[in-house]
Homo-oligomer: A and B are copies of this chain.
Amino acid sequence: MCIFAGLLRQMTSWEGTLKIFCKIALILFLASFASAQRNFQTPPPYPPQLTTELKQLREAALASDYAWQQLAHLTNNIGPRPAGSPQASFAAQYVAGEMRKLGLEVKLEKVVVPHWVRGLEFAALDEFPGMAPGTTQKVLLTALGGSVATPAEGITAEVVVVNNFDELNALGRDKVAGKIVLFNAKFDKQLAAAGHGGPAYGQAVVYRGIGASTAARLGAVGALIRSVGGADYRLPHTGAMRYQPDAPRVPAAAVTAEDADMIASLTQQGRVRMHMVLTPQQLADVESYNMVADLKGTEHPEQIIIVSGHLDSWDLGTGAIDDGAGVVMAMQTVQLIKQLGLHPKRTIRVIAWMNEEFGNSGGIAYAAAHKDDAANHYAAIESDLGAGHPVGFRMTTSAANLPLLQPAGQVLQLIGAGMIQPTDDSETDIGPLLALGVPCFSPIQDDRFYFNYHHTAADTLDKVVPRELQENAAVMAVLAYTLANLPQNLERPAPRVAPAR
């Protein structure tokens, strides 16, 4: 999930922008919700057969374990699927095979992806107030994706702790040069617990993206961030960082929230020195695939509704909530249509995206390859915020489209998923399509627990509740089938500049 991260990466004045961004997001949310309520008054009826078919899809989704079994296979049998790994490409081939079993037309569209591999990770404080002579205090951390390695013997340096960029700048080069900087920005657990996980993530993740370069410009020899996540189980959360062109490249890692607290406490008492070894490697780029499978439409086969999630994951866990879940909802959508013998008028295209996490090369490559066909992309759906209970779906389209979708919302309201929420953004992989003016949609999930597990070793199959995965599959299937059969054309959002990735 990178809604916020994607936008944030391109901003230069991070903190001010962030605050404004969060306020705007809240206002948009409230305004759009009010707007949705108003527009709900006079929905145009769907043809009775379409309504019947949507209800069939909903009920069939709630009765099926197809998505769950596919997710079990992706996570347990294939495992972590970081971009560039054999598992990621094998998973694309696996999904392709499953789609062929359903009779879909499948293409594996080439995507060049980076291939960063995690190495050893070890850190310990070897000097700190009150220590037992001759001992160390172990620090649990994990390298950030894209980090350079330390020398094989590691680096050893004093640690300075700052809560934000202002504090770093106030220290200045004199107090930063030669040190390891820990950015101790806390993930706002209360905000996340209140259902605003995205904004909480957006506030804290900025230090992951550009913290290392910002510290390195002042002479730091390494950068640490407090893990961006909500749980209290001493789990480091990885994620992508990127070096700025004008800054030295220093190794960067995420320490657990507990270790950040410990280091912060010790530095308040005196000098703290850390020894850190990270041995990741940036290998040569790898050719991988977006898995693209078409269930052809009967009346407008050239018009496309994308259903999707991203197949790549981080390497620590097995990528169940981020984002195996999104992929299997898309797979389930066409499986249900086939199972029920339904025939969408427009083409439904399953895409298992490659490399959301490490620069979105899959989404960018697809949009580049299909640019001339953008007008035929009627809509794109992606789920990439886990598989918590869905309350409805977001849409990046004109508000004029709202009434067209309200009957679909009514079908979903039976499972509590009837909310339709306009938004100004999209999930990461379909962002380049949004930039081309393609209406984008995503389920709205309960994400209160999502950031407890996000980018950690604990992102595993058991974090997905089977019933909630069924509900999400119902949302994607009902939404996709609605879009594939609407008599009208959707008003399209204005094309925009695609976010730099």
Given contacts A231-B233, A233-B235, A317-B234, contact A461 B262 (CB under 8 A): yes
A134 within 8 A of B: yes
Query: Which candidate, A73-81, A191-199, A279-287, A432-440, is the interface stretch facing chain B?
Result: A73-81
B460-A78 in contact (CB<8A):
no
CA distance A234 to B76 in the complex (A): 14
A47 within 8 A of B: no
Contact of A258 among B262, B265, B458 (CB under 8 A): B458
List CB contacts (< 8 Å) of A62-108 with chain B: 72-73, 75-80, 85-87, 90-91
A458: which B residues are within 8 A, CB to CB? Answer: 232-234, 258
Given contacts A86-B132, A86-B135, A140-B457, contact A76 B262 (CB under 8 A): yes
A73: which B residues are within 8 A, CB to CB? Answer: 130
A261 within 8 A of B: yes
A462 within 8 A of B: yes
A463 within 8 A of B: yes
Best-surrounded residue of A137, A140, A233 (most CB of chain B within 10 A): A233
B129-A77 in contact (CB<8A):
yes
Given contacts A90-B132, A258-B460, contact A79 B233 (CB under 8 A): no
B128-A77 in contact (CB<8A):
yes
CB nearest to A460 among chain B residues: B258
A133 within 8 A of B: yes
A368 within 8 A of B: no
A257: which B residues are within 8 A, CB to CB? Answer: 462
A235: which B residues are within 8 A, CB to CB? Answer: 233-234
Nearest chain B CB to A136 CB, angstrom units? 8
Nearest chain B CB to A49 CB, angstrom units? 40
A138: which B residues are within 8 A, CB to CB? Answer: 79-80
Nearest chain B CB to A140 CB, angstrom units? 6
CB nearest to A257 among chain B residues: B462
B135-A87 in contact (CB<8A):
yes
Nearest chain B CB to A109 CB, angstrom units? 20
Best-surrounded residue of A87, A129, A130, A461 (most CB of chain B within 10 A): A130
Nearest chain B CB to A101 CB, angstrom units? 15
B129-A462 in contact (CB<8A):
no
A261-B461 in contact (CB<8A):
yes
A155: which B residues are within 8 A, CB to CB? Answer: none
A453: which B residues are within 8 A, CB to CB? Answer: 233
CA distance A231 to B463 in the complex (A): 12
Given contacts A76-B266, A233-B231, A266-B76, contact A132 B87 (CB under 8 A): yes
A131 within 8 A of B: yes
A258-B132 in contact (CB<8A):
no
Produce 1/0 per residue, A453-468, CB < 8 A to B. Answer: 1001110111100000
A258: which B residues are within 8 A, CB to CB? Answer: 458, 460-462
A462: which B residues are within 8 A, CB to CB? Answer: 232, 257-258, 261
B261-A133 in contact (CB<8A):
no
A79-B265 in contact (CB<8A):
no
List CB contacts (< 8 Å) of A245-262 with chain B: 257-258, 261-262
CB nearest to A140 among chain B residues: B457
Best-surrounded residue of A129, A262, A269 (most CB of chain B within 10 A): A262
14 A-B pairs besides A77-B269, A78-B131 with CB distance below 8 A are: A76-B266, A78-B132, A79-B138, A86-B134, A87-B132, A90-B135, A231-B233, A233-B452, A234-B235, A234-B317, A234-B458, A258-B461, A261-B462, A262-B318
- Chain A interface residues toward B at CB < 8 A: 72-73, 75-80, 85-87, 90-91, 128-135, 137-138, 140, 231-235, 257-258, 261-262, 265-266, 269, 317-318, 452-453, 456-458, 460-463
**Top 4 nearest A-B pairs by Cβ distance?**
A77-B130, A233-B233, A90-B132, A234-B458
